[in-house]
Copies of this chain bind each other. A is one copy, B any other.
């Protein structure tokens, strides 16, 4: 399977990260990942149509917010918390602790 693009830590930029996090559905995915080491993307199939999910996971991955590990036909996603903390200290802590009613 073709390797999917994921930026190096040094290539991650704040504008792309904030854009990725600014969509409520992407934020929903990010929040669901915060307590997990990694998660199969199949768990989101109930939340949104597969094509929508694929798009949002791609935006998160290409911005450097999430990374994917592929095992056979399974895609396992996790947050790049350490990379983001190194580049933008405190940002993800703040975003991940948002009160649900303040998202949108």
Contacts and interface: CB of A to CB of B under 8 A. Distances in A.
Interface string A5-21: 00000001111101101
Given A94-B90, A95-B91, A102 B27 contact: no
A65 to B, nearest CB: 11
A70 interface: no
B88 A13 contact: no
A91 B94 contact: yes
| Copies of this chain, count | 2
B19 A24 contact: no
Interface string A78-104: 000000000111110111011000111
A19 B95 CA distance: 13
